[in-house]
Chains A and B, each alone.
Chain A
Amino acid sequence: MQITMTVNGEEYTREVEPRMLLTHFLRDELGLTGTHWGCDTSNCGTCSVLMDGDPVKSCTVLAATASGHQIRTVEGLEVDGVLDPVQQGFSEMHGLQCGFCTPGMMMTARALLDENPNPTEAEIREAISGQICRCTGYATIVRSIRWAADHPAAATHTEEVAS
């Protein structure tokens, strides 16, 4: 079947099997491998992307269902070499170690801050409660998201962050 969806502001049309899941559509059809594929059972949340602005677990959404919707993935956070404050926060506050959960965590953080620019620690913890991190113990992730909330206009070029 033919599906058309907008991913990070760009429209894509592809011929897919109806049973294809959104995670695999993004990774295998569009080559957007920033969205990770983890437990496959809607538990771990590493596959989280934004669907019409809300975080969803893309292993549990059919690509066919997402047709006609707006999808945003981790590749859509950085714009023209400028990191999203959430990305910068994860860098500043060491919000990752192995990095496997990071794309999903950052997308949920983005959606949280879009809706609630000044979340409490409890609100941050609730927002990421559907995602699992096996490295950080979550403390630095919470601090990273809080950093992004405190620096909403942070705009640093990727090269500066890397240095």
Chain B
Amino acid sequence: MQVPAPFAYERATSVDHALELLERLGPEARLLAGGHSLLPMMKLRVAAPEHLIDLDPLAVQLGYIREQAGEVRIGAMTRHREILASDLLARRLTMFTDAERLIADPLVRNRGTIGGALCQADPAEDLSSVIAALQGRAVIRSRSGEREVAMREFHVGPYETVVGEAEMLIEVRVPLREGAGSAYEKVKRRAGDWAVAAVGAALWLSGGTIEGAGIGTTAVGGGVTSERAEAALVGERPAEEVFDRAAEIAAEDCDPVADQRGSVDYKRHLTAELTRRALRRAAARALGAEA
């Protein structure tokens, strides 16, 4: 039987209360969002926090997806299921919808949250590269104020983020742009599994030319984004040979490890192929040729 090590349990009644508890209880306290990353780690005793601060009562307050000031704002307790069901995201930031379809399974998506997923910072987690590719930002709050961090700088390393001990991720902000299209392509071995590799691509077109591009990679090491691949796209018109070049660069920039999901060569090959496919679909969406 897998049961977590003993801990003291608190329920946060508000964001301020959660922050106050974090400050008072110190570094051995952890926030519990949907629990579908942290609880399995606690059951394996890989994580053994002394205090657990349950954010479940904040699921309504921090569970939202809204358009505001030219961007989409997603509350940290928004569940995967709500992201998948969002019309706004399906219409304007389709990469989210593509990714959510293949995150875990419907039951896990009923509990797991965007904030929990990002803060767990698993290298195979999908939304980190989605938001990084879309040039989104994380809003992090502490008792002394609020700061915004670009998702590209959110991760310090595997399972490590810039969120400090007495801080809490409360919202994700993703800019909306005209002429935009985005897509996420993922290969996994079976339903519910983590990605072997996945790539998200966003294109912003103006007058038929690529004005900006975002490439995010999942589960293949290296950075979360390939800025060299992005640079290779800007100023070009969307075309196969342009996508080929970006795909080649993204595969060069990744740094996968061999494991039971595949060899280094296979993952590199997948990164190139998935970059190509994501760019094709992103371009078709930006041009209104595909939903």
In the complex, the chain A residue whose C-beta lies closest to that of B56 is A65
Q: How far is the CA of A51 from the CA of B56 in the complex (A)?
A: 13
Interface positions, chain A 37-58, Cβ under 8 Å from B, are: 40-43, 45, 48, 51, 54-57
Tell me how far the C-beta of A100 lies from the nearest C-beta in chain B, rounded to whole angstroms.
17
In the complex, the chain B residue whose C-beta lies closest to that of A107 is B107
Interface positions, chain A 60-104, Cβ under 8 Å from B, are: 60-62, 64-65
**Cβ of A129 < 8 Å from any Cβ of B?**
yes
**Cβ of B162 < 8 Å from any Cβ of A?**
no
Q: A108-B107, A130-B105 are in contact. Are A60 and B6 (CB under 8 A)?
A: no
Q: A61-B111, A129-B192 are in contact. Are A19 and B106 (CB under 8 A)?
A: no
Most A C-beta atoms less than 10 A away, residue of B11, B43, B56, B110: B110
Most B C-beta atoms less than 10 A away, residue of A42, A54, A129: A42
In the complex, the chain B residue whose C-beta lies closest to that of A127 is B106
B39/A55 in contact, CB under 8 A? no
Tell me how far the C-beta of A145 lies from the nearest C-beta in chain B, rounded to whole angstroms.
14
A42/B2 in contact, CB under 8 A? no
B107/A19 in contact, CB under 8 A? no
**Cβ of B5 < 8 Å from any Cβ of A?**
yes
B-chain residues with CB within 8 Å of residue A56 when the two chains form the complex: 107, 110-111
**Cβ of A1 < 8 Å from any Cβ of B?**
yes
Tell me how far the C-beta of A21 lies from the nearest C-beta in chain B, rounded to whole angstroms.
7
**Cβ of B108 < 8 Å from any Cβ of A?**
yes
Residue positions of A touching B, CB distance < 8 A: 1, 17-21, 24, 40-43, 45, 48, 51, 54-57, 60-62, 64-65, 108, 126-127, 129-131
10 smallest CB-CB distances across A and B, nearest first, come from A130-B105, A18-B9, A130-B107, A129-B191, A19-B4, A40-B2, A54-B110, A65-B56, A55-B107, A129-B105
